[in-house]
Structure 1
Amino acid sequence: MNVDVVVLGAGPYGLSATAHLRRAGADVRVLGDPMALWRAMPKGMVLRSNWTATCIAEYRGPLSLDSYQAATGRRLDRPVPVDEFVDYGMWVQARVAPDVDRRSVDRVDRAPGGFRLTLEDGETVRARRLVVAAGIGPFARRPAQFADLSGELVSHTSEHQDLSRFAGRRVLVVGGGQSALESAALLREAGAEPELVVRRDRLIWLHGGRYHRMLGRWAPLVYAPTDVGPMGLSRVVAVPDLFRRLPRGVRDRLARRSIRPAGARWLVDRLADVPIRLACAVRRAAPAGGGLAVEFDDGGTTRVDHLIYGTGFQVDIAKYGFLSADLVRAVRQVDGYPVLGPGLESSVAGLHFLGAPAAYSFGPVMRFVSGTWYASRALTRVVVP
């Protein structure tokens, strides 16, 4: 089968790209498992982003959260729980990609005039353009000191949908960002005995909501609807075309300041009873008596039943197993990130990357749902000029 554009992925970025491309009249085929990564997130998890920034494809219009509520009669909680966000995403999918093909893609190769995709059942699809919106699942950062330990003893926060399996067990959670902090809170609420270990000497809490309320009608002057970055900087990183033109050193500093490990303030009370080791890191963890004996770099030790590391994600497009080695090598990269130009197009003509892989070129907003607004429009301007 030949098609003009294949969108590979059916999460927020894939669905948003499909919506905008089809509105512009492009011939699009969508491959992916709708909202798969989000469906696998822990029960009880809540999105950190504000209402506007949780909208897929547009924060005003027929696909926004407000339109979803009006169409379904539902009233979502604020902040939005992940299960309600999944329902919203599936509603978007039904409207923009009801024909989504859920078969997995085994391999993508370059071919004359574009790309050849081989599906799980052997069918091949040829496309002039390929839009990779395959999410961050393969990019989970796994610390080297845990590499030899069994999955029964150590795991990444992204590997758990139901934390109740740890009820009555001692669990060490490594990390000071949202995923680690919220996992610790959910573990406590599920009946486990969590302990947090954080490399920094303090936890950082996001104050955006409070400052929004304090500033009132003036808040939009310093906070963009994308809800990424602190006061003032939020407006800069909300314009990816501007970000891309800044000197590399400036871009790196802006990115670090905008997405440093931090937690939503609504987690403070939920973590009140969770022990926290600050300015501390795990030096060594070894199997012991069915659990783990853990040594810290401050000389302390503990015994736990399981260790969960909330150490985030590190983009490396080579970990997209469907991309052939030759295709990966042909893409100009920096530290695993593709270097992208207008339309989020890589150095391989017709190959586009959306979501976190676009963050090196277009900034930290590409790591969040609100980045779908820019990415899809920029893509469409190049694909359907």
Structure 2
Amino acid sequence: MSRHSPQVGSRRGLAALEAGLGEDLTRLGLPRASWTARRDGPDGTTLHDVLVIGGGQFGIGLAAALKLAGIPDTLVIDRAEEGSEGPWTTFARMPTLRSPKHLPGICFGIPRLTFQSWYRARFGDAAWGALYKIPNAIWQDYIGWVRRTLDLPVWNGVEATRLEPAADHVAVMLSDGTRLHARHVVVATGRGAVGGQNHVAGISPALGPDRVAHTSDEIDFERLRGKRVAVVGVGASAFDNAATAMEAGAASVDMLARRHALPQLNKGRPSSGIGFLEGWAGLPDADRWRLAVYLDAMQGVPPHETVLRALERPGLSVHFATRLLSAKPSGEGLRLEVENGPTGEYDFLILGTGFRVDLSREPLFDAISPRIALWRDTYMPPDDLVRPHLGLYPYLGDALELKATEGPPLDRIHLFNAASWLSAGAMALDMPSLDIAPARLVTGITRALFAEDFEAIFASLCDWQDEHELEATPFYAPRYVNETGR
């Protein structure tokens, strides 16, 4: 039996876990009572308190935090079908997550919501002890379990295409022409919807998707059997795709790197510690910029398991200190011109070049992108720390809200994705922050909703007469119930 095959009795184990979780939530008084004021949208339809774009790990985490905080009038939308949200079962081509298995997951300090509790209930204690790192599909199953167990409102197969902020809400256009309305919108799209894929100059558009693809694209690796493949980049995803091509039977894979050696230290480990997660956003701009420049230069290290996986089969070559000059069609394949590297004929090219942050390139922000405050609008670094690509990051507020350079505010739109990195560090980027980040964002949204609903909330406070505390005592005086201390 595979260690990831549910043991006999796993259904009973999950049932017991869910029953215990229900008791935990009851003892903690969760979810909190709903407290926001009911409002209608401009067309008479529901005006959601919060609409979350993206149903992956951070979107589900945020929806859970909102519900537990007494803000149940929320909706999560995702363009993927259920079970395919995020990268884990689509373009994440490593067999396991890169993070350690002991990270808590979407839990808010509740032990029975942690990944470990779910995994042990489903697969058993022995399987947990034998587990090294979490398989992608298993992690996707855990996210789905949190969604179902907490009964979170998610619409799948729904794509947001445009945001149109108004004075008291944001209109969200969908691809089918439907308009949704919410008082706050959170874009929780991971590394998507922030600017698109990074591409390199010199690649002919005539190559088309049958001869070149980005690592985040759908790739038919079976077509690469017996083929000559080139990969631009030596990051983790580049190695994942190289390994997948080799496993599919590619004749050879040449990886092209500009740097002279692979990064040696994974600075992402210490920079995702609790001090960085909680403290980054509170630093002066100069210190946040300095941190970002340093970590951007260090870049990520491909895990040793990923590198060794790619090297398991003969035919992989890594070429350092090279530069791709051009890629052009040649017969049924393509020809690469490479400075200080393997110029020649190939059948397929994979771009492991990552993603850029540039909201002006995202149709979702077309209506507002000229007014979005960027770091380059707000902070001028010293000459030796100028990095134009970092200047394109949006300059976000404490609740990860957009700021406007002119005109009406944009603070009803929050970025809970890779575009928040320069403003808030890794808070909305990777697994280590999942147990705290959603609740931190909900605190900011709560403050905004409370201030906006203050008159209604204050009136409700004044009208509240549910508990006459002294009714059973000799001092009960109902005529003075509404006295304010005179």
Q: Same fold by TM-score, threshold 0.5 exceeded?
A: yes
Q: Structure 1 residues 279, 62: closer, same or farther in 2, change over 3 A?
A: same
Letter of the structure 1 residue corresponding to residue 359 of structure 2 = I
Q: Structure 1 residues 195, 161: closer, same or farther in 2, change over 3 A?
A: same
Q: Structure 1 residues 249, 356: closer, same or farther in 2, change over 3 A?
A: closer
In structure 2, how many angstroms separate the alpha carbons of the residues matched to 1:55 and 1:170?
Answer: 40
1:326-364 CA distances to partner (integer Å, 9 max, x unpaired)? 322232123442211112122112211102011010114
- Match among 273, 278, 281 for residue 320 of structure 2: 278
- Name the structure 1 match of 2:337: 295
| Distance apart, 1:73 and its partner CA | 3.2
Aligned length: 362
Is residue 10 of structure 1 aligned with residue 62 of structure 2?
A: no
Letter of the structure 2 residue corresponding to residue 173 of structure 1 = V
| Distance apart, 1:262 and its partner CA | 1.7
- Name the structure 1 match of 2:77: 31
- Match among 96, 110, 118 for residue 68 of structure 1: 118
TM-score by length of 2: 0.68
In structure 1, how many angstroms separate the alpha carbons of the residues matched to 2:179 and 2:289?
Answer: 43
Q: Structure 1 residues 63, 330: closer, same or farther in 2, change over 3 A?
A: farther
Letter of the structure 2 residue corresponding to residue 382 of structure 1 = G
User: Which secondary structure does the structure 1 equivalent of 2:186 belong to?
Assistant: strand
- Match among 344, 354, 359 for residue 312 of structure 1: 354
- Match among 317, 321, 324 for residue 363 of structure 2: 321
| Distance apart, 1:277 and its partner CA | 1.0
- Name the structure 1 match of 2:387: none
- Match among 238, 253, 256 for residue 296 of structure 2: 256
In structure 2, how many angstroms separate the alpha carbons of the residues matched to 1:299 and 1:250?
Answer: 34
Is residue 229 of structure 1 aligned with residue 284 of structure 2?
A: no
Is residue 179 of structure 1 aligned with residue 237 of structure 2?
A: yes
1:69-88 CA distances to partner (integer Å, 9 max, x unpaired)? 14433647432222222222
User: Which secondary structure does the structure 2 equivalent of 1:343 belong to?
Assistant: coil
| Distance apart, 1:123 and its partner CA | 3.0
User: Which secondary structure does the structure 1 equivalent of 2:334 belong to?
Assistant: strand
Letter of the structure 2 residue corresponding to residue 69 of structure 1 = Y
In structure 1, how many angstroms separate the alpha carbons of the residues matched to 2:427 and 2:231?
Answer: 27
Higher alpha-carbon Rg = 2
Is residue 135 of structure 1 aligned with residue 190 of structure 2?
A: yes
Moved more, 151-160 or 121-130: 121-130
- Name the structure 2 match of 1:220: none
Contact 2:322 2:340 in 1 (8 A): yes
In structure 1, how many angstroms separate the alpha carbons of the residues matched to 2:75 and 2:341?
Answer: 56
- Name the structure 1 match of 2:419: 357
Contact 2:104 2:116 in 1 (8 A): no
1:296-352 CA distances to partner (integer Å, 9 max, x unpaired)? 1116412110110101111222343233x2322232123442211112122112211
Letter of the structure 1 residue corresponding to residue 309 of structure 2 = R
| Distance apart, 1:42 and its partner CA | 4.9
Contact 2:401 2:411 in 1 (8 A): yes
Contact 2:50 2:74 in 1 (8 A): yes
Is residue 46 of structure 1 aligned with residue 113 of structure 2?
A: no
User: Which secondary structure does the structure 2 equivalent of 1:93 belong to?
Assistant: helix
| Distance apart, 1:107 and its partner CA | 2.4
Is residue 340 of structure 1 aligned with residue 396 of structure 2?
A: yes
The share of aligned pairs that are identical, in percent, is 27
Indicate the RMSD between aligned Cα atoms, in angstroms. 2.6
Letter of the structure 1 residue corresponding to residue 143 of structure 2 = G
Q: Structure 1 residues 155, 44: closer, same or farther in 2, change over 3 A?
A: same
Contact 2:239 2:307 in 1 (8 A): no
Larger relative contact order (CA 8 Å, sep ≥ 6): 1
In structure 1, how many angstroms separate the alpha carbons of the residues matched to 2:121 and 2:362?
Answer: 36
Contact 1:156 1:308 in 2 (8 A): yes
Unaligned stretches of 5+ in structure 2? 1-45, 376-390, 404-409, 448-486
In structure 1, how many angstroms separate the alpha carbons of the residues matched to 2:75 and 2:422?
Answer: 27
1:32-54 CA distances to partner (integer Å, 9 max, x unpaired)? 13552323225553221111348
- Match among 162, 167, 185 for residue 107 of structure 1: 162
- Name the structure 2 match of 1:212: none
In structure 2, how many angstroms separate the alpha carbons of the residues matched to 1:147 and 1:354?
Answer: 34
Is residue 86 of structure 1 aligned with residue 148 of structure 2?
A: no
User: Which secondary structure does the structure 1 equivalent of 2:420 belong to?
Assistant: helix
| Distance apart, 1:278 and its partner CA | 1.2
TM-score by length of 1: 0.85
